[in-house]
Chains A and B, each alone.
Chain A
Amino acid sequence: MNPLSRRQFLERMGAAGFGALASSALGAWNLEAPENPLAVYPDRGWEKVYRDLWRVDSTFTFLCAPNDTHNCLLKAHVRNGVITRIGPSMRYGEAEDLYGNRTTHRWDPRVCQKGLALTRRFYGDRRISGCRVRAGFKKWVEDGFPRGENGRPPKEYFNRGRDEWVKVSHDKAAELVAAALENIAATYSGEEGRKRLLAQGYDEATVETLGGAGVRTLKFRGGMPLLGMTRVLGFYRMANSMALLDAHIRKVSPEQASGAKGFDNYSWHTDLPPGHPMVTGQQTIEFDLACVEHAQTVVVWGMNWITTKMPDAHWLTEARLKGTKVVVIACEYSATATKGDQVLVVRPGTTPALALGLCHVLLRDRLYDETYVKRWTDLPLLVRMDTLKLLRAEEVFGSAPAPLANATRVLAKGEKEPPPGTHREMLIPGEMRREWGDAVWWDRNAGLPRPVTRDEVGERSSVGDALLEGRVEVRLKDGSRVTCRPVFDLVKEYAAHFTPEATEALTWAPAQAVESLARNLAAAPGTTLFAVGMGPNQFFNNDNKDRAVFLLAALTGNVGKIGGNVGSFAGNHRVALFNGAPQYINENPFDLELDPAKPARIRQYWRPESAHYYNHEDHPLRVGNRLLTGKTHMPSPTKSLWFANANSILGNVKWHYNTVVNVLPRIEMIAVNEWWWSTSCEWADVVFGVDSWAELKHPDMTASVTNPFLCVFPRTPLRRVFETLGDVEVLALVGKKLAERTGDRRFADVWAFVNQGRTDAYLQRILDHSSNTKGYRFSELEARASQGIPALLNSRTSPKAVGYDQIADNRPWYTKTGRLEFYREEDEFIEAGENLPVHREPVDSTFHEPNVIVAPPHEALRPAGPEAYGVAKDDLSCETRCGRNVVLSWRETKASRHPLRAKGYGFVFHTPKYRHGAHTTPIDTDMVAVLFGPFGDIYRRDKRNPFVTEGYVDVNPADARELGIEDGDYVWVDGDPEDRPFRGWQKNEKDYRFARLLCRARYYPGTPRGVTRMWFNMYGTTPGSQEGQRTRPDGLAKNPRTNYQAMFRSGSHQSATRGWLKPTLMTDSLVRKNLFGQGIGKGFLPDVHCPTGAPREAFVKITRAEKGGIGGEGLWRPADLGIRPTYESEAMKIYLAGSFVTRRDGEERP
């Protein structure tokens, strides 16, 4: 039988009912292999599936604004009502201001991997639907708030972290919260309340601050309020409206009523560089990162720019293409180090010393910018050696303080400051002006003292041939004589202690590099940007650091210029970018303006407070017989805590495990607004489910300290599918409930525009009253924002550069002398031995004696040592350590040892931020997490993995080997046993089990020996996550009751940290600009002058726990494969050497 022809074959097939094949086979290819697919492919119809996957139904814009300062308008792509993917708006290049200035498309794209992964947060299983109330708390409220003798609620109602949750409506949750607010405020009001608090053991000083007003035990916090001028800042408006509650409870008049307390933010996050106000008199000097385009050198100092400022990283790499030299100073070979023309690896926490070492070279060889020093700094001013105070013109010449005219107005007695947005010059209260007087410098030509007023700065400076070095006898008006030395001379003498050799020994920076860097900086004054990061700032000596860095910058003429400035980069903070904010926060709740067209009438009833006291076991700093927390700073007891837009105040609080074990039991209500179940929710009583950024139905706005944009959160068309409300709606609902309880409808009217769907009216008020936004219509800004186009702030310059106004217009700084001040004459500073910009060793993260002032004997350093406080000189316990003023020379310091070293503790343990997470949004979504570090595995082949990735500590391989730890092993990391992970862990196994840090160890060749690192931040262990890991078949560290997903098997990066209070950050005397506007004040100011803690400090012991191989068997696979540092296979060694190829040609090798 003959073989069938193709035709016959097909016919038969057809006959056999293979019609389908017959027809498709007419194309006759599908039984043939393509001839040459490199050239031609027969049927490409299938390609349609990918075109279909690409297709979407619609798009809309929303704003992504975690606390990372970038504020990205993102485009959401929607299909079937689901956001399938997200992308950049690509329209930042179209931003304009009121004057037609415009950006370019080099600003596009603005987005990041976390933003793209938001779909997984919008729809993931930790999304909060409706509200959750802790069963015990609900019962406590419904049982009528039972309390014991001293007012404490019975323990059985407060099984936080382990209790069951009840789902309730927003209405019900608001009812419970309103009832609790009223009950708690009432309980702690009046004499009865006072007695109860004292009976509960609160520090008397804190109880006295209540003045009988129980509402002051209610703490509110809108996390990073700049990130939501109505949504987040609304919590302070709420705190202000608590004055209505006080009036209701205590039956007092509006004049006598008190508002609640509001926690700080920028300082709470240790983002505030506390030395900036000490030198410049205002919050922070910073510059938009695009300024780097205009600098000749940028010193990236303890800042991992390319990982924490990702959308603005290109400015750095592109500036480099145009010749900007990039100098990276870090305590490791960091990601940003790879972009450095020069890289310095130094010891953590030694920034003040390094800066002083650089200054020493400049001073020793007279390389400093003398003009800048004389015009802009206090260095020429004379200090009395008897009192250590600045010499006053009044003392010498008897003249009264000079009248001030340089962009300055002295307020008449009793004159009230006008609204901040209207300020055109600096406003100084009369009594402060008199207090300051004028300073004196020594004229070398005339051999005479000369007065200098604070008007006389910059080109207006009268300081001529001033004595900078040496001492003079000055004859005072009263005939007496006093020895004086210029600040310059005192500083130079002190800095001389930090020779390049000493600096190398102390900071590990090679002496040669210190010499050459100093010379390079001096070679081109005013052309260097110092981009100082969060690294150095999270050490206890952060104000020392700022003062020393500014000294270096001033000596090289680098403050206040577009291409020559200091910046501190951490968090997004300057609410004053909208300095009309008081229109919203502080509207008088007793006298509300309900006409959106009219401005609000202002009265501030609420009081700010540093959250560091709550973090510090709810008490101020007492060392021996001394109370080292200033009056203006004094906190009140914390009985209720309600916050939004932040996990940092509880879930990621410093010393977290001490807070949840020892502090929380004394707090009676914790309420959280969230859209994603965070660690804070785990420990809360009430969780309000709120809109994500993609679902906002009430618009909002924000701006940034690192870019020039004003960004609106536009209302979005996305349907709410998770039973959520907006944050402001939640506030309004609780207001409504309070109105119902008290019969005072003003509680509800506080939120009138929210209820009318006119939240934009509040925003318009803010715009109208803010210096840099007046002239904008909110409706227009929102319309453009929904097209993906932001606006530009109408600040003095774009890019912004704080200090530009001073330098360009020869205006005084916000200090007593109008100059950059390096000498601090206030008693608190003299007592602390910090009247000069000194170097203190870190308070915990040092191999030497902690917190000592490294100094030679110096005429001007006369600190009050421990004995003066009635404390033993060798008492190094953590609490007294905070207020310990001990001076040791570097040689003595070098010989000293951290007290724990004798007990096997030997590693500095620091916790920097990284590319995979933003401060307030930890990494717990799969696709971002799986790329976070070396242990990611979406399929979790090792069931021990708490998640698809997990926390790990980076250890120098040589150190790890000595400890018998293999790459990828699990290890225990223990901080100071005195009080970490929490005070009393020795007698509390139940809590210790989840609080002690267990994590992977990675061999990390980029970190120096003795220095270990764990990235900040992954969600930490809770009792629920550990229960999940024990009981779930998949072994996930996921709370079976809440779905909370931890990235640790036990503990977290906060297991080794602690709350620390620094006396120089708690003074009542520091002069500084107020938060909003140009007015000057002194003492405590939230986010400007208050404690910042030292969250990056810990000195730890590391011990091996388990093997790294799957299930605890053998080596972690990558190490086993020979591709890990120190485990290199032969092939890997060849690979590293680049020897898999050779070249035979004339081309020479360098």
Chain B
Amino acid sequence: MKPFRLVLWMSLTVLLAACGQGPQTSPAEVTALSAGTLPLDPADVAWRKVPVHPARLIPQDLVEPRLLRPTTAEVRVRALARGGEMAFLLEWDDPTADDLPGAARFSDACAVQMPVQTSADLPAPQMGETSRAVSITYWRASWQAEADGRGDTIRDLYPNASVDHYPFEAAPLAGDEAARREAALRYAPARALGNAMEGGRSTPVQDLLAEGPGTLTPAPVQESRGKGIRTKTGWAVVLVRKLPEGPPVGGRFQAAFAVWQGSEQEVGSRKMRTGWIPVNLEKAS
């Protein structure tokens, strides 16, 4: 366990110890309590009184490449709402913490999906469909590790690596930070194109839009917030995001959830997911 993760884990255990037995469950749907503030920290006491919805996860086995063998059984969801925003706390069991990128190392991750636009008949839960976009808030453990302080060098991934030279760090560039940064980007094409899937990220979450499988695209505005911590049995992740456009239908929004276990080589469409689950916006009592 990485030191920074250890600290968080300890603070959480202390807190759970303090709050006695767990909250009641909300079996049918996600019950979102409205709150004065939306806590970003999964360890925040505010989550204690929020009912848990145990959402069963099923393998994504409709589009290639498919996940044929089920892994994560369920994700425990809680929600708090405030104005146009909603905070989700997702917890699931995952014996291995996978947050280190590598050639064949995949990261643990989770996501909340909501329609861009509320409507009676929902877009396909599988990433929406043409002209019926869904907006997805995605959290990745490796991004969290970076947000928690992991550096952006090869030695942060391979501690004993020995590299003699990077053209963008050569002596003649010493002192010219701008030139160095520009040169460094040239040698990281994806970053140069603003497609930072790893490294140089300020937040562990990403807002995405989709209109069906294969169409996933970063949203033009990145506004969601999130934070994940390692628990005794797996992960606890808070995702704070915008509500869909338009009024809730029947007082309810719809959300779908997905979980990826890096150790199971789960990535992209190889994931455990739910269908649409109603999110009932309740008045705080």
Residues of A within 8 A of B (CB): 1, 3-6, 9, 12-13, 16-21, 24, 30-33, 46, 49-50, 52-53, 79-82, 84, 119-120, 122-125, 127, 719, 721-722, 925-927, 938-941, 943, 945, 947-948, 1033-1036
A1076 to B273, CA, bound (A): 84
In the complex, which residues of chain A have a beta carbon less than 8 angstroms from the beta carbon of B246?
Answer: 1
Given A17-B221, A32-B215, are A926 and B167 also a contact pair (CB < 8 Å)? no
In the complex, which residues of chain B have a beta carbon less than 8 angstroms from the beta carbon of A6?
Answer: 130-131
In the complex, which residues of chain B have a beta carbon less than 8 angstroms from the beta carbon of A127?
Answer: 171
Given A31-B211, A721-B171, are A947 and B117 also a contact pair (CB < 8 Å)? no
In the complex, which residues of chain A have a beta carbon less than 8 angstroms from the beta carbon of B119?
Answer: 1, 3
Q: Is B28 an interface residue (CB 8 A)?
A: no
Q: Is B48 an interface residue (CB 8 A)?
A: no
Q: Is B186 an interface residue (CB 8 A)?
A: yes
Closest A residue to B118 by CB, please name it: A1
Query: A12 touching B245 by the CB < 8 A rule?
Result: yes
Query: B165 touching A120 by the CB < 8 A rule?
Result: yes
Q: Is B163 an interface residue (CB 8 A)?
A: yes
Given A6-B131, A33-B214, are A1 and B162 also a contact pair (CB < 8 Å)? no
Query: B186 touching A53 by the CB < 8 A rule?
Result: yes
Interface of chain B: mostly helix, strand, loop or mixed: loop
A4 to B164, CA, bound (A): 56
Query: B121 touching A940 by the CB < 8 A rule?
Result: no
Query: B173 touching A82 by the CB < 8 A rule?
Result: yes
**Chain A min CB distance to B208 (Å):** 10
Given A21-B220, A52-B186, A123-B170, are A926 and B160 also a contact pair (CB < 8 Å)? no
Contact of A1034 (CB < 8 Å), options: B133, B160, B171: B160
In the complex, which residues of chain A have a beta carbon less than 8 angstroms from the beta carbon of B214?
Answer: 33
Closest A residue to B160 by CB, please name it: A940
Q: Is B189 an interface residue (CB 8 A)?
A: yes
Instruction: Pick 8 A–B contacts, CB within 8 A, sort by A.
Output: A4-B131, A12-B116, A16-B245, A31-B215, A53-B187, A81-B172, A925-B164, A1034-B160
**Chain A min CB distance to B191 (Å):** 10
In the complex, which residues of chain B have a beta carbon less than 8 angstroms from the beta carbon of A12?
Answer: 116-117, 245
**Chain A min CB distance to B104 (Å):** 13
Query: A49 touching B186 by the CB < 8 A rule?
Result: yes
**Chain B min CB distance to A21 (Å):** 4
Known: A119-B165, A948-B162. 8 other contacts (CB 8 A): A1-B119, A6-B130, A6-B131, A31-B215, A32-B130, A80-B183, A925-B165, A940-B161
A13 to B158, CA, bound (A): 43
Given A80-B172, A81-B172, are A1035 and B160 also a contact pair (CB < 8 Å)? yes
Query: B162 touching A119 by the CB < 8 A rule?
Result: no
Q: Is B217 an interface residue (CB 8 A)?
A: yes
Query: A80 touching B221 by the CB < 8 A rule?
Result: no
Q: Is B209 an interface residue (CB 8 A)?
A: yes
**Chain B min CB distance to A882 (Å):** 42
Q: Is B197 an interface residue (CB 8 A)?
A: no
Given A21-B209, A80-B183, A82-B172, are A1034 and B159 also a contact pair (CB < 8 Å)? yes
State the interface size on chain B (CB cutoff 8 A): 45
Query: B221 touching A938 by the CB < 8 A rule?
Result: no
Given A1-B119, A32-B130, A940-B162, are A123 and B183 also a contact pair (CB < 8 Å)? no
A52 to B246, CA, bound (A): 45
Query: A4 touching B132 by the CB < 8 A rule?
Result: yes
Q: Is B120 an interface residue (CB 8 A)?
A: yes
The 3 closest A-B pairs by CB, nearest first: A33-B214, A20-B220, A939-B158
In the complex, which residues of chain A have a beta carbon less than 8 angstroms from the beta carbon of B219?
Answer: 18, 21
In the complex, which residues of chain B have a beta carbon less than 8 angstroms from the beta carbon of A719?
Answer: 172
In the complex, which residues of chain A have a beta carbon less than 8 angstroms from the beta carbon of B210?
Answer: 31
A504 to B159, CA, bound (A): 54
Query: A3 touching B132 by the CB < 8 A rule?
Result: yes
A50 to B193, CA, bound (A): 11
Q: Is B248 an interface residue (CB 8 A)?
A: no
In the complex, which residues of chain B have a beta carbon less than 8 angstroms from the beta carbon of A17?
Answer: 221
**Chain A min CB distance to B156 (Å):** 12
Q: Is B179 an interface residue (CB 8 A)?
A: yes
Q: Is B284 an interface residue (CB 8 A)?
A: no
Closest B residue to A940 by CB, please name it: B160
Contact of B164 (CB < 8 Å), options: A5, A24, A50, A124: A124
Closest B residue to A46 by CB, please name it: B193
- Interface flags for B133-171 (1: CB within 8 Å of A; 0: not) read 100000000000000000000110011111111010011
**Chain A min CB distance to B213 (Å):** 7
Query: A33 touching B212 by the CB < 8 A rule?
Result: yes
A84 to B172, CA, bound (A): 11
Closest B residue to A930 by CB, please name it: B162
In the complex, which residues of chain A have a beta carbon less than 8 angstroms from the beta carbon of B176?
Answer: 80
A817 to B221, CA, bound (A): 93
In the complex, which residues of chain B have a beta carbon less than 8 angstroms from the beta carbon of A19?
Answer: 220
In the complex, which residues of chain B have a beta carbon less than 8 angstroms from the beta carbon of A80?
Answer: 172-173, 176, 179, 183
Given A3-B119, A3-B132, A80-B172, are A947 and B189 also a contact pair (CB < 8 Å)? no
Closest B residue to A54 by CB, please name it: B186
A4 to B179, CA, bound (A): 47
Q: Is B192 an interface residue (CB 8 A)?
A: yes
In the complex, which residues of chain A have a beta carbon less than 8 angstroms from the beta carbon of B155?
Answer: 1034
Query: A32 touching B158 by the CB < 8 A rule?
Result: no
A52 to B188, CA, bound (A): 12
A926 to B154, CA, bound (A): 14
**Chain B min CB distance to A876 (Å):** 45
Closest B residue to A12 by CB, please name it: B245
Query: B220 touching A1 by the CB < 8 A rule?
Result: no
Max chain A Cβ within 10 angstroms of own Cβ: one of B154, B155, B158: B158
Query: A5 touching B209 by the CB < 8 A rule?
Result: no
**Chain A min CB distance to B98 (Å):** 18
A50 to B190, CA, bound (A): 11
A9 to B131, CA, bound (A): 7
A211 to B26, CA, bound (A): 105
A940 to B159, CA, bound (A): 8
A125 to B120, CA, bound (A): 65
Query: B193 touching A938 by the CB < 8 A rule?
Result: no
Query: A18 touching B117 by the CB < 8 A rule?
Result: no
In the complex, which residues of chain A have a beta carbon less than 8 angstroms from the beta carbon of B170?
Answer: 82, 119, 122-123
A1033 to B167, CA, bound (A): 25
A941 to B116, CA, bound (A): 46
**Chain B min CB distance to A50 (Å):** 7
In the complex, which residues of chain B have a beta carbon less than 8 angstroms from the beta carbon of A82?
Answer: 167, 170, 172-173, 183
A1034 to B159, CA, bound (A): 7
Query: A938 touching B189 by the CB < 8 A rule?
Result: no
In the complex, which residues of chain B have a beta carbon less than 8 angstroms from the beta carbon of A1034?
Answer: 155, 159-160, 162
- Interface flags for B211-235 (1: CB within 8 Å of A; 0: not) read 1111101011100000000000000
Query: A49 touching B193 by the CB < 8 A rule?
Result: yes
Query: B121 touching A3 by the CB < 8 A rule?
Result: yes
In the complex, which residues of chain B have a beta carbon less than 8 angstroms from the beta carbon of A125?
Answer: 164
A721 to B187, CA, bound (A): 23
**Chain A min CB distance to B244 (Å):** 11
In the complex, which residues of chain A have a beta carbon less than 8 angstroms from the beta carbon of B158?
Answer: 939-941
In the complex, which residues of chain B have a beta carbon less than 8 angstroms from the beta carbon of A938?
Answer: 161-163
A554 to B119, CA, bound (A): 98
Query: A49 touching B189 by the CB < 8 A rule?
Result: yes
In the complex, which residues of chain B have a beta carbon less than 8 angstroms from the beta carbon of A1035?
Answer: 160
A1034 to B162, CA, bound (A): 9
Given A12-B117, A16-B245, A53-B189, are A30 and B162 also a contact pair (CB < 8 Å)? no
A1013 to B178, CA, bound (A): 50
In the complex, which residues of chain A have a beta carbon less than 8 angstroms from the beta carbon of B179?
Answer: 80
Query: B131 touching A30 by the CB < 8 A rule?
Result: no
Query: B132 touching A32 by the CB < 8 A rule?
Result: no
Contact of A123 (CB < 8 Å), options: B120, B154, B165: B165
In the complex, which residues of chain A have a beta carbon less than 8 angstroms from the beta carbon of B211?
Answer: 31-32
Max chain A Cβ within 10 angstroms of own Cβ: one of B171, B215, B246: B171
